[in-house]
Amino acid sequence: MDTERASGYRYSQRAYLVQLRREGAGTVLVDPIALGGRLDPLVEALQGTEWVLHAASQDLPCLAELGLRPAILFDTELAGRLAGFERVALGTLVERLLGYRLEKGHGAADWSRRPLPPDWLNYAALDVELLVELRDVLEEELRRQGKLDWALEEFEAARTAPPPRPRVEPWRRTSGIHRIRNPRQLAAVRAMWEARDSIARERDIAPGRVLPDSALVEASVKNPKTEAEMIALPVFRGRAQRRGVGTWLAALRQAETLDRSELPDPSPQHDGPPPPNRWADKDPAAAVRLAAARTALTAAAEANTLPVENLLLPDLLRRTCWQPPEDLSTEGVAEALRTGGARSWQVELAAAVLAEALRTTPTV
């Protein structure tokens, strides 16, 4: 199974096409838009079956919106990573393991377009044409390497993963915002971002197509006072940007009226440890632990032909090094990893080497 979305064109991440291939039935392309998102017969037909997807975490949320949830999952991208392949794009794995070259070229297209051109549909069908064969080869490779049980744990974790938590301040991810440290200018970015997000959601248009991030940052830095001054900025010379100039000016004026107490913090508290490049100043002992842990886990990953980020999630590693458990025995660290969401195979490989690294202290 696979889906096609319209990322970069639409605000939503809904599926605009669902592709399936099943032995005995062939390839089927389903238009959920034409069906009003009601795929009840398909939901019933697929109950209890194993789904083969490539990079499943990208497709499962939009499939769930349609009521489609797998009972069993096999993720060919994740399988490729665990098997130690350095390049795990679908086309790369198919060519290397099956000897076929997939025609590519429409992955970044606007799949909300109707009618969809025949060559786009052919492209979409190819994405599921060989997934089952690829799955079988990867399963055999994982079994040969003694990693199949690891992969099954990972597939189940991906299948049952909860939706990601909404970001507390999503506007802080505006590209180029690192140029701004002034709280009043940050408030301007926030006001313009929120205005843009409201328009994008209402029209179901990707926010960057309403107004690019560069325009938000430039206007917040230059703070134009009139429509003419705003239009004079290079990033506002497009017709769409000029058309909404009144909205953007209003957002800037709103930011100007905020009380000091309402301005955003230039250095907000992180949900977790600070960025690692600041650890040496904030907590030198934690920086030493993190360096030792990274070295030890990299060696363990290489010994098992794994990407280190699949051996242990970087975020869990940072959190554990920043605030280690009181019990630094192997079992104490293992329990901390399990509590943090690590799978049993990860705990088995990582707990002992991480426990030793966490006991590393700065040299005087």
pLDDT digits (tens, 9 = 90+) for 90-119: 999 999 999 999 887 787 899 999 999 999
The percent of residues in the chain predicted with pLDDT above 90, rounded, is 85
Residue 334 has pLDDT above 60, yes or no: yes
Q: Does domain 2-160 have CATH number 3.40.640.10?
A: no
Residue 363 has pLDDT above 90, yes or no: no
Give me the pLDDT at residue 108, please: 86
For 205, the 3-state DSSP assignment is: coil
Task: Give Cα separations from 263 to 184, 256, 292 (angstroms).
Answer: 6, 10, 39
Give me the pLDDT at residue 42, please: 94
Q: Which two tokens stand for residue 147?
A: 């990693």
The CATH 1.10.150.80 portion of the chain extends over 170-262, 276-358
Q: Furthest-apart CA pair in the chain: how many Å? A: 69
For 208, the 3-state DSSP assignment is: helix
Give residue-wise pLDDT tens across range 128-150.
999 999 999 999 999 999 999 99
Give residue-wise pLDDT tens across range 43-93.
999 999 999 999 999 999 999 999 999 999 999 999 999 999 999 999 999
The percent of residues in the chain predicted with pLDDT above 70, rounded, is 99
Q: Which two tokens stand for residue 228?
A: 């003419």
Measured CA to CA, the distance from residue 137 to residue 131 in angstroms comes to: 10
Residue 240 has pLDDT above 80, yes or no: no
Residue 364 has pLDDT above 60, yes or no: no
Average confidence (pLDDT) over 235-258: 88
Question: What is the 3 state secondary structure string of 44-107?
Answer: HHCCCCEEEECCHHHHHHHHHHCCCCCCEEEEHHHHHHHCCCCCCCHHHHHHHHHCCCCCCCCC
Residue 287 has pLDDT above 80, yes or no: yes
Average confidence (pLDDT) over 189-213: 95
Which residue from 303, 266, 356 is spatially nearest to 147, judged by alpha carbons?
A: 303
Torsion of CA 338, 342, 346, 347, to 10 degrees: -10
Residue 24 has pLDDT above 60, yes or no: yes
Give me the pLDDT at residue 362, please: 79
Name the CATH superfamily, with its identifier, for domain 276-358.
Answer: HRDC domain (1.10.150.80)
Average confidence (pLDDT) over 253-257: 96
Give me the pLDDT at residue 37, please: 86
CB atoms within 10 A of CB 284: 11
Distance linking the first and last C-alpha atoms of the chain? 57
Average confidence (pLDDT) over 324-341: 97
β-pairing, 26-30 with 17-22? Answer: antiparallel
In this prediction, residue 270 has a pLDDT band, given cuts at 50, 70 and 90, of: low
Measured CA to CA, the distance from residue 90 to residue 58 in angstroms comes to: 13
Give me the pLDDT at residue 181, please: 83
Give me the pLDDT at residue 269, please: 66
Amino acid at 346: Q
CATH of 170-262, one of 1.10.150.80, 2.70.50.60, 2.120.10.90, 3.40.50.12780: 1.10.150.80
Average confidence (pLDDT) over 199-219: 94
The CATH 3.30.420.10 portion of the chain extends over 2-160
More confident residue, 272 or 291: 291
Give residue-wise pLDDT tens across range 26-38.
999 999 999 998 8
Residue 234 has pLDDT above 90, yes or no: no
Residue 314 has pLDDT above 60, yes or no: yes
